[in-house]
């Protein structure tokens, strides 16, 4: 299979002008650049241009021993194709970075770099295995050719894999959106249940409130009537002044019933309704705990249990857990702990990721109680939290 012209042209683009090479020169760093681009760069940077063969250049790789051409020399080169070819050949002469007057003519198989004969005789490569440059040339050329042929032969396979990855991306996108929709629907169901429970609870509270207010209002009206009975008391006092027994008995009989009723009301005052709504307090502690553990659970991921017998605590805590009677099914664990105090609701959980089934926790306070819990993770799936275990640190010695 042939390599496309477009891929070849990519290797023939000048990094400076982004065009195809025109009269290319090889730089000491082994990059190529157009002759006109070199001239423009020298003209722009002037004295700030750093010579490729200066002492500040990279000493770890072979470099070319040639001084930076001046602007005049560049002008002369541009007027003579023969000089261009001459200098281009000079740029291709590789000199040893350790022995500047020696050309590299051997290849160190240990360091995988060209060296000169002095490097082999008494230099840093004296004890290294070296080979001739022609041998290294043939071997590297053969390896490179085979690798290129392999890449060319696998071009259709790579294209197929790229297409497969593109399909996988689309499938992942669709499955992700579907998972989001399903999760949103499940949460909407929970919201609907909570909304219904909320409405029922509020209606019950409102009904009870109205009924109690009605009873209290009725009681207020009754006691308002007692205040209006002042006239009844005055009338009764006048009746007591009656000396005619027949008239007194006839009048006092009905009056006594009214007076007795008012008297009984004053003797036993009791509100007609309770003001407290304690019976209507919604206990959501268990539900809150369940919702707090809401996650992507898998039926195949068991809940770990903290082994209290193997867990020890002093100023440090050694917490261990296991799967009773089952194999370890999690890849990683998350251990959480918090200090218990009077204001327990404000205590936040400290989280630690653990790759094993035990963990040492330091810097615990003396004479304090701590709660511990653990859960397992396998990929993006997690187990429910284990049962909380409370351990107490001893007092300070």
> How does pLDDT run across 193-246, given as a tens digit for each residue?
999 989 999 999 999 999 999 999 988 887 777 666 666 677 777 778 877 777
Average pLDDT over residues 279-300: 75
Would the pTM of this model clear 0.75, i.e. be above it?
no
**pLDDT confidence tier of residue 371, bands split at 50, 70 and 90:** very high
Average pLDDT over residues 42-49: 61
Strand partners, 25: 33
Q: Tell me if 25 sits within 8 A of 33, measured CB to CB.
A: yes
Give the C-alpha separation, 134 to 140, whole Å: 10
Q: Tell me if 364 sits within 8 A of 393, measured CB to CB.
A: yes
Give how far Cα 225 sits from Cα of 127, 238, 253, 255, 389, Å.
122, 21, 21, 16, 64
Average pLDDT over residues 150-170: 90
Least confident of 7-11, 62-66, 318-322: 62-66
Q: How far is CA 387 from the centre of its chain?
A: 26
pLDDT of residue 181: 92
Q: Tell me if 377 sits within 8 A of 300, measured CB to CB.
A: no
pLDDT of residue 93: 62
């Amino acid at each position: 299979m042939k390599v496309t012209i477009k891929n070849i042209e990519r290797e023939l683009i000048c990094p400076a002008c982004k065009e195809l090479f025109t009269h290319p020169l090889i730089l000491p760093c082994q990059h190529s650049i157009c002759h006109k681009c070199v001239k423009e760069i020298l003209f722009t940077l002037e004295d700030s241009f750093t010579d490729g063969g200066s002492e500040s250049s990279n000493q770890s790789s072979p470099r070319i021993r040639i001084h930076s051409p001046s602007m005049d020399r560049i002008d002369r080169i541009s007027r003579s194709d023969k000089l261009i070819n001459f200098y281009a050949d000079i740029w291709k002469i590789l000199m040893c970075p350790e022995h500047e007057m020696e050309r590299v003519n051997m290849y160190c198989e240990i360091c995988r770099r060209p060296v000169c004969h002095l490097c082999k005789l008494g230099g840093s490569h004296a004890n290294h295995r070296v080979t001739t440059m022609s041998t290294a040339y043939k071997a590297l050329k053969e390896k490179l050719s085979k690798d290129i042929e392999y890449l060319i032969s696998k071009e259709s396979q790579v294209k197929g894999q790229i297409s497969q990855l593109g399909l996988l991306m689309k499938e992942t996108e669709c499955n992700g959106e579907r998972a989001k929709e399903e999760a949103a629907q499940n949460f909407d169901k929970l919201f609907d249940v909570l909304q219904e429970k909320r409405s029922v609870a509020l209606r019950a509270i409102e009904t009870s409130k109205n009924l109690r207010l009605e009873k209290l209002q009725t009681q207020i009206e009754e006691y308002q009537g007692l205040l209006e009975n002042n006239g009844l008391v005055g009338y009764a006092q006048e009746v007591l002044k009656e000396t005619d027994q027949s008239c007194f008995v006839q009048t006092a009989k009905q009056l006594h019933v009214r007076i007795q009723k008012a008297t009984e009301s004053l003797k036993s005052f009791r509100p007609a309704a309770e003001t407290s709504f304690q019976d209507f307090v919604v206990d959501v502690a268990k539900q809150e705990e369940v919702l707090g553990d809401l996650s992507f659970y898998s039926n195949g991921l068991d809940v770990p249990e903290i082994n209290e017998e193997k867990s020890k605590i002093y100023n440090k805590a050694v917490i261990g857990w296991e799967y009773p009677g089952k194999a370890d099914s999690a890849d990683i664990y998350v251990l959480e702990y918090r200090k218990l105090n009077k204001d327990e609701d404000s205590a936040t959980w400290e989280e630690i990721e653990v790759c094993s089934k035990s963990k040492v926790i330091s810097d615990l306070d003396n004479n304090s109680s701590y709660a511990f819990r653990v859960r397992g993770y396998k990929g993006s799936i997690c187990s429910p939290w284990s049962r909380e275990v409370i351990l107490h640190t001893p007092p300070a010695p």
